[in-house]
Structures are given as C-alpha cells and as structure tokens.
C-alpha cells in the first residue's frame, strides 16, 4: 500500500450557489448544534441585484460560512463572486463539468445547489483560476483590444471583397492593400479618380516597381455605389485604429506596476510588449496557483490530454479547448519565434519538418509558456537563449556518426571511417 497526501476533511460551514441571470439559489450546510456528526441545511432563492447579494453575504456571515462555491455560468457568476470576494469570503469558481449530476437524478436549481454544496464540503472539486482585481481590470482592456483587432480584420476583408466586386485586383499586386500606397490609391478612388495610370503612379517605395501590374489591377468597374461603401468601411477602420491606440495607452498605464515582469517576458523571441501584457493579463503574476510549469501548460490546454481505458491511451495528441485569448497570443508568438535564429526557431523548424506546422506552433507555444512560468515564478530569473545549435551540440558525436553511416549504407555505399589529421 502507498500513502497518499489526500486528507478526509469536511468543510464545516460551506455555501454553494446555482446562478441564473435574474435569480440564484443558495444552499448552506453547517454542523447541527445539538447533534454532533449531523448537518443542517438551508436553501434560499435570492435575486441577483446588488442589494440582495449584499443581504445574502450578511446572512452567510452570520451563519459563519467560510467558503462559497459557484459554477462558472456565462458571466452571471461575476456579480455574486465580486460581492462575496469583497466581503472576505473564500470564494471558489468551479467548472460545471466537474460537478455534473449523477445519471438518473432529477435536475432543478435547488437540487443543483444542494449537490454542489455536498460536493464542495467534501472537497471533491478544485477552484478555477480567477486573477486578482488589478489583473482582471487589465484583462478586460487587453481582451477588448484583441476583439477590436478581430473586428478590424473583418472590416478589412470586406474592403477586399468590395474591390473584387468592382474588379479592382489591388490585393493581387500589393501584399498589404492598407499600406501607405494602398490607402493613397483608395483615397483617390473615393475622390473620383478612375484612371488606372494615375492611380498606379501613387505607388510608393518598392511598389514603384509594379507600376505596370497596378495599371492592370485598376482596370475595372468602380462605381459610385462602390465608393459609398468603401468610404464607410475605411471610416470604420480608421475609427477602430483610433480606439486601439487609446487602448494601447491605457494598457501602458495599467501595466506600469508590472513593468519589470513585462520587460523580462519581452526578452523571449516572438514576444513583444503587447503580447507580454496579454500574457500577464491572462495568467497573472502569482505562479503559486500553478505548482509547476506543467500545471500551467495543462490549464492553458497546451499539453496532451490523458484518457486511458482498458490499457489503451485514447487521448494522446489532443489538447482540448483552453483560454482562447492566451492561445491566440502564444500561437502568434510561436509564428514570430519561428522566423528567428534561436532555440525556439530551430525547435519549430525541426517539428514542422516531421509533424507539420500546426503541431509545431502548439509545441513552441508550450515552450514559451514554460519559459514564462519560470520567469514569473522567480523574479531574479532572466531569459537566456540556448542557441539554434542546441540540438546539434546536445547529440552525442558517436550517435551522430552511426546515424550518418547507416544512412549511407542504406543508399548502397560501403563506409569506412578514418580520423582526420590533427
């Protein structure tokens, strides 16, 4: 028999909330005052308005409740969580998947609250990661910025489709139609210019070498109808650009207390100041919530799942769906690191050759996340690149020699080796 670290401990005074948009059901379980070993239970329904939540918090405090557990139901959990957190309770947010009812049991809001409370008092669930208030506020801003970037990208796609409808093939010639040259040409279209040669002459710098191709691209049927829609789309893109610039300024102000951590993350290949701010906003600075780098990778779903049945592993190779904002920034960082002559760049290229680019992005993203964990876990740690030749230096020379000999013999050669003269 092997001893485990698990302890059979009952939380004496615990509450659980089943939360909806307008109402929540609160179940409280506390020790029976006159019968040791027995439990008393109370189930009440409260509106989710702030006054009702404050009254519920006072009632729970009178009952001596120490821990309050609730499911992550849409965004409806936030008001109750924030009120109870501010009131000093140990507030847990749990994954609804972890507290499903047993098959065959009836399901109501009351029974859900009672079941969650019973599971919580026996400590059979784990809390989800909820960052502290200052990180949550930063997260709100960085996530809104990410969403606006997506909206801007969608609007730019609409512009390209509109030009295609007008048979203007600018995107065929220019890799970025929203560069300096592209915006000047579209502004001229809005001003009424339709001559392909005049439009092509607005090209700048390297685009000047594509004058002939641009003249062909602007030979189309751009009408006043297209001009009206293009003007609205460009106005919307410019407005989004202005909003993103304001958000960048706000992020700089909010990230100022964490600037040292930001600078150390900025040293990682593929990570810039904006990406570092997003990572801090998503995982926080307190790595005690993740005992190891593997725990962080597992939480972010950047580690293969484990699903074994009848001695067969059925979950290898799948990661599942995690934090999409964190996954996006790690994926972009991995692609950026792939273009560098660094350890992460070489790691990407080695994996991409044999297993494809998608798996290489996930693997490098996980490596970046492991580096982030170590940098945040140790304030004195600094990033040090292992070098693009790390794999070459690490492999044993004899092993490399045997590998090359086997490859040549497989091609039909007879190999004999002699040491080179000193």
- pLDDT value, residue 417: 84
318 pLDDT tier (thresholds 50, 70, 90): low
Whether 63 contacts 39, CB under 8 Å: no
Question: Considering the entire predicted model, what is its pTM?
Answer: 0.84
State the Cα angle at 300 between 133 and 255, rounded to 5°. 35
How far is it, in rounded angstroms, from Cα 197 to Cα 406? Answer: 62
Regarding the domain with residue range 14-128, which homologous superfamily does it belong to in the CATH classification? Ribonuclease H-like superfamily/Ribonuclease H (3.30.420.10)
Average confidence (pLDDT) over 296-315: 73
Q: Is residue 418 over pLDDT 90? A: no
pLDDT above 90 for 420: no
Q: Are residues 123 and 5 in contact, defined by beta-carbon separation less than 8 angstroms?
A: no
Closest by alpha carbon to 125, among 133, 115, 140, 137? 115
pLDDT tens track for 240-264: 999 999 999 999 999 999 999 999 9
Q: Parse the chain into domains and list their residue ranges.
A: 14-128, 134-245, 257-377
Q: What confidence category does residue 292 fall into, taking pLDDT thresholds of 50, 70 and 90?
A: very high
* Residues whose CB falls within 8 Å of the CB of residue 305, separated by 6 or more in sequence, listed in order: 315, 316, 318, 319, 320
Give 20-62 pLDDT, tens digit per residue: 899 999 999 988 887 777 888 889 999 999 999 999 999 999 9
Q: Which of 131-140, 305-314, 371-380, 410-419 has the lowest mean pLDDT?
A: 305-314
Q: How many residues does the chain have?
A: 422
H or E stretch covering 413: none
DSSP of 156-171: HHHHHHHHHHTT--HH
For the cut 60, the answer to whether the pLDDT of residue 317 exceeds it is no
């Amino acid at each position: 028999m092997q001893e485990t670290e698990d302890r059979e401990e009952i939380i004496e005074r615990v509450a659980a909330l089943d939360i909806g948009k307008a109402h929540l059901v609160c179940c409280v379980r506390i020790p029976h005052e006159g019968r040791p070993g027995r439990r008393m239970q109370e189930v009440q329904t409260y509106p989710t308005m702030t006054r009702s939540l404050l009254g519920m918090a006072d009632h729970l405090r009178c009952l001596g409740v120490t821990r309050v557990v609730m499911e992550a139901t849409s965004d409806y959990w936030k008001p109750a969580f924030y009120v109870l957190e501010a009131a000093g309770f140990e507030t847990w947010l749990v994954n609804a998947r972890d507290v499903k009812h047993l098959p065959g049991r009836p399901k109501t809001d009351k029974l859900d609250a009672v079941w969650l409370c019973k599971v919580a008092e026996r400590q059979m669930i784990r809390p989800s990661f909820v960052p502290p208030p200052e990180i949550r506020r930063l997260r709100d801003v960085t996530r809104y910025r990410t969403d606006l970037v997506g909206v801007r990208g969608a609007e730019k796609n609409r512009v390209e489709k509109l030009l295609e409808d007008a048979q203007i093939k600018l995107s065929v010639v220019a890799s970025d139609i929203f560069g300096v040259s592209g915006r000047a040409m579209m502004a001229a279209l809005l001003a009424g210019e339709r001559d392909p040669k005049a439009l092509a002459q607005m090209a700048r710098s390297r685009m000047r070498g594509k004058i002939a191709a641009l003249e062909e691209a602007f030979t189309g049927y751009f009408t006043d109808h297209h001009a009206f829609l293009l003007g609205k789309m460009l106005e919307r893109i410019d407005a989004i650009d202005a909003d993103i610039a304001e958000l960048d300024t706000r992020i700089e102000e909010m990230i100022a207390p964490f600037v040292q951590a930001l600078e150390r993350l900025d040293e990682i290949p593929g990570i810039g100041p904006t990406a570092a701010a997003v990572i801090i906003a998503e995982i926080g600075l307190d790595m005690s919530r993740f005992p190891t780098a593997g725990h962080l990778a597992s939480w972010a779903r950047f580690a293969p799942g484990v699903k074994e049945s009848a001695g067969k592993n059925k979950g290898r190779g799948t990661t599942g769906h995690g934090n999409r904002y964190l996954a996006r920034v790690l994926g972009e960082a991995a692609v950026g690191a792939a273009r560098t002559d660094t350890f992460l760049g070489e790691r990407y290229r080695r994996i991409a050759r044999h297993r494809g680019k998608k798996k290489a992005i996930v693997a490098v993203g996980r490596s970046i996340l492991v580096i982030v964990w170590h940098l945040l876990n140790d304030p004195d740690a600094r990033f040090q690149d292992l070098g693009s030749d790390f794999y070459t230096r690490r492999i044993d020379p004899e092993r490399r020699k045997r590998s090359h000999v086997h490859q040549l013999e497989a091609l039909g050669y007879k190999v004999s080796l002699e040491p080179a003269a000193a």
